[in-house]
């Protein structure tokens, strides 16, 4: 088969039509040679085991070797790792026992990688959310997970709790839980405020449906516990809210952007400050993110913007509503780029997006220069089309 035929395929478009699409050569991204001026953490996905006989909707089956190999890929681009977070399908297929095993294996691998940074998610997902749950049970669940991670030598990302959201009756309940847990952590933790667009069960977190009121509660917790807080990751997909909160943070507390819609400008910052990064999209765009951050560290803001500009439409597409299904697009990218041999996900979540979504993702990944091996990407896209009857 001629190369031109391999690199041209028909992609579905709105209205049931098929359109010719030719893949371009990928962009050449250089490995980092200097430290970034922003802390950059990628929230990483897990690779499912396609040979497992476990029912995918009921039990997680993980290919541990491929999962850890992907973490080495992210470290190779100079990125730190946010482990066992929602990108790893925490609460959407990945339970606490498997999360702890994932954290253990990742920390072991990190010891073999010079400079590798890992922070790991501690939550309450071993506790079923219910209005009948007591705050003491939420605290105990957080304590169990924090202790298990710290026993392995890990740092804590304090994840938002569905159980706390279900049982809390006031902002004071949130403050009591966070004050208790932060008072016990060995190293400063990252607080994760995950918005309801990522997880509907977290609506009204911090005791208020209005984000401005919730922000006041969160900021007061941060002020009281500033010595035990490394930073706060805000995932509200609203840059103005993030900037407003960033300007009110206690001295020494980082803002980690979780805004996969506006990350480029938030990381660049303004005259009054900037955001560090803890992003699911960095899993999918690691080479571009690394090259852009390297350029920025070298004082070349123009190249930083030029590299990231086409990744923003890609990210907005992957994270489009229902945002909680963004993991499907992240794993699809890893499959297209040869980091795993299949497009199968924990919990069967490969079915969470439709074919037109994947076709547009393919186009946008090509526009960003992120299809590392165009021939492989085309073969795999054609295979997906064939499964859908569009061979």
- The arithmetic mean of pLDDT across residues 185-202, rounded, is 97
Domain ranges of the chain: 37-374
- The arithmetic mean of pLDDT across residues 1-30, rounded, is 84
Paired with 278 in beta bridges are 41
Helix (H) or strand (E) segment spanning residue 137: helix 135-151
**Residue 14: predicted pLDDT:** 86
Per CATH, is 37-374 categorized as 3.20.20.70?
Answer: yes
pTM of the shown model: 0.96
6: pLDDT strictly greater than 90: no
Q: Quote the CA–CA distance of 344 and 48 in Å, as a whole number.
A: 6
- The arithmetic mean of pLDDT across residues 30-48, rounded, is 96
- The arithmetic mean of pLDDT across residues 211-237, rounded, is 98
| CB of 70 closer than 8 Å to CB of 339 | yes
Q: What is the mean pLDDT of the chain?
A: 96
- The arithmetic mean of pLDDT across residues 377-382, rounded, is 97
1: pLDDT strictly greater than 90: no
**pLDDT tens per residue across span 291-306:** 999 999 999 999 999 9
Dihedral (Cα; 295, 245, 162, 347), 10-degree rounding:
-20
70: pLDDT strictly greater than 90: yes
Nearest to 332 by CA among 283, 368, 278: 283
- The arithmetic mean of pLDDT across residues 56-65, rounded, is 94
3: pLDDT strictly greater than 50: no
Residue 159: helix, strand or coil by DSSP?
A: coil
């Amino acid at each position: 088969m001629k190369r031109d035929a391999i690199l041209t395929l028909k992609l579905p478009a709105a209205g049931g039509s098929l359109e010719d699409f030719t893949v371009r050569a990928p962009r050449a991204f250089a490995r980092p040679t200097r430290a970034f001026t922003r802390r950059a953490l990628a929230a990483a996905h897990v690779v499912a085991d396609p040979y497992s006989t476990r029912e995918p909707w009921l039990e997680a089956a993980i290919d541990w070797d491929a999962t850890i190999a992907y973490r080495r890929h992210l470290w190779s681009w100079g990125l730190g790792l946010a482990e066992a977070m929602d990108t790893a399908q925490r609460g959407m297929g990945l339970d606490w026992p498997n999360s702890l095993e994932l954290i253990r294996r990742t920390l072991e691998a990190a010891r073999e990688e010079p400079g590798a940074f890992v922070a790991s998610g501690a939550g309450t997902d071993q506790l079923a959310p219910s209005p009948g749950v007591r705050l003491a049970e939420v605290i105990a669940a957080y304590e169990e997970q924090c202790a298990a991670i710290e026993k392995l030598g890990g740092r804590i990302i304090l994840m938002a709790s569905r159980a706390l959201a279900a049982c809390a009756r006031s902002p004071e309940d949130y403050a009591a839980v966070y004050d208790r847990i932060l008072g016990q952590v060995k190293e400063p933790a990252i607080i994760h405020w995950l918005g309801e667009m990522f997880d509907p069960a977290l609506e009204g977190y911090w005791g208020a449906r209005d984000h401005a009121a919730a922000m006041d509660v969160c900021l007061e917790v941060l002020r009281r516990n500033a010595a035990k807080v490394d930073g706060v990751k805000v995932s509200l997909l609203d840059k103005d809210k993030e900037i407003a909160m960033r300007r009110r943070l206690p001295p020494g507390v980082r803002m980690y952007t979780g805004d996969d819609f506006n990350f480029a400008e938030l990381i660049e910052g303004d005259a009054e400050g900037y955001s560090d990064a803890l992003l699911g999209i960095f899993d999918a765009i690691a080479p571009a993110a690394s090259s852009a951050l390297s350029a920025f560290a070298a004082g070349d803001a123009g190249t930083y913007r030029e590299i990231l500009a086409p990744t923003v439409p890609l990210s907005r597409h992957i994270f489009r509503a229902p945002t909680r299904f963004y993991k499907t697009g992240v794993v699809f990218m890893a499959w297209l780029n040869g980091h795993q041999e299949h497009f199968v996900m924990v919990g069967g979540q490969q079915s969470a997006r439709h074919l037109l979504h994947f076709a547009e993702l393919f186009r946008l990944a090509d526009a960003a220069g992120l299809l590392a091996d165009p021939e492989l990407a085309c073969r795999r896209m054609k295979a997906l089309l064939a499964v859908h009857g569009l061979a």
